[in-house]
Amino acid sequence: MGRNVGEILARPCALWPRKPALVDQGRTWSEVQEHVERDAGALRELGLGLGERVAVISRNSARYFELYFSIPRAGGVIVPLNHRLAKPELEYCMKDSGSVMLLADREHLDLASEISNSVVCIDDWDTSTASAPPAVEVSEDELFGIFYTGGTTGQPKGVMLSHRNICEGAINVVIAMGYREDDIYLHAGPMFHLADGCGSFATTWLGASHVFIPGFSPEVLLDAVESHGVTSMTLVPTMYAMLLESPEFSTDRLKSLRRVFYSASPMPPGLLERVLDAFDCEIGQGYGMTETSARLTALSPEEHQRFSSPGATNLERARLASAGRPIVGTEVRIVDEHGEICPPGEVGEIVARGPNVMMGYWGMDSTNVLRDGWMHTGDLAFTDDEGYVFIVDRSKDMIISGGENVYSVEVESALYSHPDVLEAAVIGVADPKWGERVHAVVVLRDGAATTEDALMNHCRAQIAGYKIPRSFEFRDSLPKSGAGKTLKRELRLNVMSEQ
Amino acid sequence: MGRNVGEILARPCALWPRKPALVDQGRTWSEVQEHVERDAGALRELGLGLGERVAVISRNSARYFELYFSIPRAGGVIVPLNHRLAKPELEYCMKDSGSVMLLADREHLDLASEISNSVVCIDDWDTSTASAPPAVEVSEDELFGIFYTGGTTGQPKGVMLSHRNICEGAINVVIAMGYREDDIYLHAGPMFHLADGCGSFATTWLGASHVFIPGFSPEVLLDAVESHGVTSMTLVPTMYAMLLESPEFSTDRLKSLRRVFYSASPMPPGLLERVLDAFDCEIGQGYGMTETSARLTALSPEEHQRFSSPGATNLERARLASAGRPIVGTEVRIVDEHGEICPPGEVGEIVARGPNVMMGYWGMDSTNVLRDGWMHTGDLAFTDDEGYVFIVDRSKDMIISGGENVYSVEVESALYSHPDVLEAAVIGVADPKWGERVHAVVVLRDGAATTEDALMNHCRAQIAGYKIPRSFEFRDSLPKSGAGKTLKRELRLNVMSEQ
């Protein structure tokens, strides 16, 4: 008998029915269970059929947490949408997934109504008269959810994750992150993203409690940590930088924290040092991607402590810039173009295998990334001789800015659609606040005189705000390889030498 | 892509090739990998075919550890035999499993030759000239090993565990037991048993190191802990009692221990108190069975500490006699005869579901214990209102004496085969040293005058020494139910009232 996301919730409901589950709501696990059953019943009453997709567009909330359980409980498949996407992108996700309804919070209600004709406002949704639907039997290999991520094709790709994917991903995180039954977990990052999801499922399985903030700001986060005694959370490096810069910040306000994580990218060394100083708790890092139900490698708090201690060797200190090592529960390798394992020091592609690897992309051929069960991440890396993974490049041309993935090809497509743009190349450049900044190198057509501002406005209508280039460079031509491919590495080197 | 036991070993070999893996041998992970490849090659050279069974009879050793990986690496299925069984029992296991060869240590070589005509002595087995066999592809649902356990039918039953069963069982134990990468794990219990196996796979996956003792004695264990800096081990309650009684015991000799466990049964309260006093480390408990790839519930070190503290309520203190709570990764319920979940306080049967539940019994119908994916353990229990599981009876009529499972029906069958025995009922009675003691209530035929000693000798030829009754009671008749079934509960109550 296989795994089902329902079993994750069943454990705390059976063992701690009266324990506060969603702390800021004062809601116990037994009440969560009731809500989930009722919401599932209401979804069925709305006509939801087995296997049909239900999209969600919402900021973080207790109800969002419950939807991750009530939609599958009703036999549906959840499609969490990135609320920061632009309308055409959201329209694409709705249409591509074939979602039959869209659950939206009040803030996104108008937008939701523009992209779906079957919208439910979850802030006003009273399901108290609904009753629990009949039990739904699904095998562990059936679809749990579709998670859209930016794609190299310029369109978001729907990552299909099964019940087993989610469960195994959660178990991997329980082990790698060392969450505990008595944790109070803050949903600091956006809940549509599996970086929060894997921590959420992991902590739920353990019976930990949850706190939600609608979105990140230093002030809101500090208040939440302080008033609810938060013990654990995962932030992207940018959020740490913003926290430390906030006038409201003081180490004392974070004294309930036991263990915090950063993900999406290694922390710039200067920032990590400041964080280790300012946070009086354990600090760990996780690396992964939606396609692998999140985590693949981790750098543990013990390693952070050891490698940042005065006695650490240079080699050890350098490991603070790594993504750590492969975690228990999934196989991770660095391989060359023939699939052979690279010796330490040699750059290859990160590939991963295991029950955490996605079923494939929804409605798309995935054979180019899923080969013999190995997920080809597109990230280039090498290991040192103790297996620490150093990511050197993302062959997918992905920029991680403030924790959000930006695929350069999406931004380039937006730029190319401007009549004055002859050529465009988008790269990530180091940025003290955002980790990486989206930077565009543009060649205009002869005689054109478009400005940065005009190009930014042009992009704004097509892609999410965080994807819009924050800096521009106009050139007469782009450096090319013999085969005519734009040499982005050269562009990156140029930018670095100018900084 | 699914799980394979090979991935458990692959991780430490990739990440810590030069780290001491088998401490007492001074053997690194890279050397273990070499040994496993060579032994697998040698098994193929001996003619081992894919899917064929290879039995092992041996005390604990480094090579035994490696066989758990080299036999599947060669495409074979491991059948670890309990070396304490009597010859007829071992013959049954060999024949039932259809094992094509028997790997034996020197101590069991003569016995091995009596029950197999294809014996290899693993103490003299030089495989240094063998080379790695071609890779073997097996799905995660294929058979990894057959683990024989005593059966209610009077014959051992072969528990079939798949690669996935073993891997998921190991992951469950990583989480529940809190093993760590820097642990030094002592194989204190017998390695043919999955109580050691699940800890062994779990610690290997994490990259912890291993120490072996051929068998348990207080002196050998104390020496091993002290000389190798052992940090973790699992003992049955009887072993703790023997340790504390040993003149060689001193708390100081165990100072390297970080966290130890007991399993097989809750610890008698007096003993637990003494252990908590004498061991200056964390203490936890695990409950489970071979059929569920071992662990199902656990009582954590934190719970031991909390429930034994001076401030603990009576209710909390009572939980020290429980088997703890269902662990993450497997579903555990107490159900009535209709399969409905019992409310707290009501006695029902412990059932478990999840990818850790066995494939079935080898060559036997398992539909009576595996129903809708739920393993019916035969153990009767109730929960308190926080989900702690209190085992009250084993409906399989199993006695756990010194950590070994004894099925009363096996012992009764041996007794019944004596010409003078008219009726026999075997029960477990509380025993300060063994936890439970095998106790026989016997009705002799008219005019017969057989003695205890004669019956013990009679049993010795048929069943393992630990199964032989340690005390006897002769009666004129046995108490019976209306349907004629022997009322063992009444016998147990009689014995208790006499003690």
Which residue, among A206, A328, A350, would best test binding to B if mutated, counting the most B CBs under 10 Å from its CB?
Answer: A328
Domain ranges of chain A: 5-319, 398-498
Q: Which residues contact B203 (CB under 8 A, 6 or more apart)?
A: B179, B183, B185, B210, B232
Three-state DSSP class for A252? helix
Interface check B16 vs A, CB under 8 A: yes
User: What is the pLDDT confidence band of residue B335, given thresholds at 50, 70 and 90?
Assistant: very high
Are A146 and A159 in contact, with CB atoms under 8 Å apart? yes
Give the pLDDT of residue A44: 98
Task: Indicate the pTM of the whole model.
Answer: 0.87
Establish if A16 touches chain B: CB-CB under 8 angstroms.
Answer: yes
Query: Residue A141 has what DSSP assignment?
Result: T
Would you call B15 and A205 a contact, using CB atoms and an 8 Å cutoff? no
The reported pLDDT for the residue numbered B233 is: 97
Higher local confidence (pLDDT), B15 or B436? B15
Strands (E) located in B245-321: 259-263, 282-289, 294-299
CA–CA gap between residue B58 and residue B36 (Å, rounded): 17
pLDDT band for B432, please (50, 70, 90 cuts): confident
Best A8, A11, A19, A296 residue to mutate vs chain B (most B CBs within 10 Å): A11
- What pLDDT was estimated at residue B266? 73
B283 and B259 in contact (C-beta within 8 Å)? Answer: yes
The per-residue pLDDT for range B258-317, each reduced to its tens digit, is: 999 998 777 777 888 899 999 999 999 999 999 999 999 999 999 999 999 999 999 999
Taking CB atoms and an 8 Å limit, are B1 and A372 in contact across chains? yes
Mean pLDDT of chain B: 92
Indicate the SS3 state at residue B398. Answer: strand
CA A255 → CA A212, A252, A282, A368, B137, distances in Å?
18, 5, 11, 47, 51
Instruction: Say yes or no: A2 contacts chain B, CB-CB below 8 A.
Output: yes
**Residue B345 token pair:** 């306080």
| Separation in Å, CA of B214 to nearest CA in chain A | 29
Residue B487 has what DSSP assignment?
-
> CA dihedral in degrees (B291, B297, B299, B303; nearest 10)?
170
First to last CA, chain A: 57
Tokens of B57: 């009879």
Mutate which of A141, A167, A331 to disrupt the B interface (most B C-beta within 10 Å)?
Answer: A331
* Interchain pair A11, B372: CB under 8 A: no
CB-nearest to A328 from B205, B331, B387 is: B205
CB pairs < 8 Å spanning A and B: 66
B326–A14 C-beta distance less than 8 A:
yes
Cα–chain-centroid distance for residue B195? 4
Do residue B3 and residue A355 have CB atoms under 8 angstroms apart?
A: yes
Cβ neighbours around B16 below 10 Å, total: 20
Round the CA-based radius of gyration of chain A to a whole number and report it: 23
Round to whole Å and give the CA distance between A42 and A60: 21
So what's the pLDDT on residue B404?
84
CB contact under 8 A, A174 and B355: no
For chain A, say whether B252 makes contact (Cβ under 8 Å): no
Tell if the CB–CB gap between A353 and B171 is shorter than 8 Å: no
Cβ distance B1 to A325 less than 8 Å, yes or no, reads no
Other C-beta atoms closer than 10 Å to the C-beta of B363 total: 12
In CATH, what is the architecture of B5-319?
Answer: 3-Layer(aba) Sandwich (3.40)
User: How does pLDDT run across B108-165, given as a tens digit for each residue?
Assistant: 999 999 999 999 999 999 999 999 999 998 999 999 999 998 755 567 899 999 999 9
Q: What is the DSSP string of A407-425?
A: EHHHHHHHHHTSTTEEEEE
The pLDDT value recorded for residue A496 is 63
> Is there a contact between B1 and A354 if contact means CB atoms under 8 Å apart?
yes
Q: Chain B residues with CB inside 8 Å of A357's CB?
A: 1
> Looking at chain B, which residue has its C-alpha nearest residue A14?
B387
- Of B307, B289, B394, B313, whose CA–CA distance to B347 is shortest? B394
Q: Is the pLDDT of residue B461 over 90?
A: no
Work out the percent of chain B whose per-residue pLDDT is above 70.
97
Task: Choose the closest CB to A387 out of B14, B174, B329.
Answer: B14
Does B2 contact A at CB distance below 8 Å? yes
Q: Do B10 and A373 count as a contact with CB atoms less than 8 A apart? A: no
3-state secondary structure of B68: helix
Asked if B1's CB is within 8 angstroms of A374's CB, the reply is yes
Q: How far apart are CA B426 and CA B396, in angstroms?
A: 12
Contacts 24+ apart (CB under 8 A), A32-36: A32/A66, A33/A9, A35/A63, A35/A66, A35/A70, A35/A127, A36/A9, A36/A66, A36/A69, A36/A70, A36/A73
Q: Do B329 and A171 touch (CB under 8 A)?
A: yes
Ranges in chain A, pLDDT < 70: 1, 151-154, 394-396, 481-485, 496-499
Distance from CA of A141 to the nearest CA of B (A): 11
Three-class SS state of A250? coil
Nearest-angstrom CA–CA distance, A182 and A201: 15
Reply yes or no on whether the pLDDT at B103 is more than 60: yes
CA distance B430 to B425: 16
Q: Measured between alpha carbons, how far is B44 from B41 in angstroms, rounded to an integer? A: 5
Closest residue in B to A10 (Cα) is B331
For B398-498, CATH gives 3.30.300.30
Predicted pLDDT at B35: 98
Nearest-angstrom CA–CA distance, B81 and B104: 10
Cα A339 to Cα A348, A351, A374, A402, B353: the distances in Å are: 9, 9, 10, 32, 37
Instruction: Tell me phi and psi for residue A306, to 5 degrees.
Output: -65, -45
Helix axes B5-15, B29-45, angle to 10 degrees: 140
Task: State the pLDDT at residue B481.
Answer: 67
Restricting to B residues 197-226, those with a Cβ less than 8 Å away from any Cβ of A are: 205-206
Q: What is the pLDDT of residue B453?
A: 94
Residues 6+ apart with CB under 8 A from A373: A353, A357, B1
* A328–B206 C-beta distance less than 8 A: yes
What DSSP line would sit under B76-100, residue for residue?
A: -EEEE--TTS-HHHHHHHHHHHT-S
Tell whether B386 lies on the interface with A, counting CB pairs under 8 A.
Answer: yes
Q: Give residues 144 to 173 of B whose Cβ lies within 8 Å of A.
A: 171
Q: A324: nearest CA in chain B?
A: B15
CA distances for A2 relative to A51, A203, B274, B295, angstroms: 18, 20, 42, 17
Interface of A with B in 399-428 (CB under 8 A): none
